[in-house]
Amino acid sequence: MGNFVPAAVGKRLLAWGLVELLGLAVVVGVGLLLGWRSYQRCPHCGRLVRRAVQGWKRCGSCGRQYRRGLRVR
């Protein structure tokens, strides 16, 4: 009973660090994907605007209305 740490424990700690890093990467990736999906480019001026899920939205930059999937340019 000492404070001797076996190599296996060290390896396990390293693996946990890897799993944690992988989890973080997945969370960041999903977050980016969700964040990207909630935005779209304004079909008129190309600025990044909030995605119009239903109905029409007005672009804050050019003042023109756009809707989901609208392609003008």
Which stretches of the chain bind Zn ion, using CB under 5 A? 42, 44-45, 59, 61-62
Q: Which is nearer to Zn ion, 2 or 63 (CB)?
A: 63
- State in angstroms the smallest separation of the CB of 64 from Zn ion: 6
Q: How far is the CB of 21 from Zn ion (least distance, A)?
A: 39
The distance of closest approach from Cβ of residue 56 to Zn ion in the complex, given in angstroms and rounded to an integer, is: 13
Contact partners, residue 72, CB within 8 Å, separation at least 6: 43, 44, 66
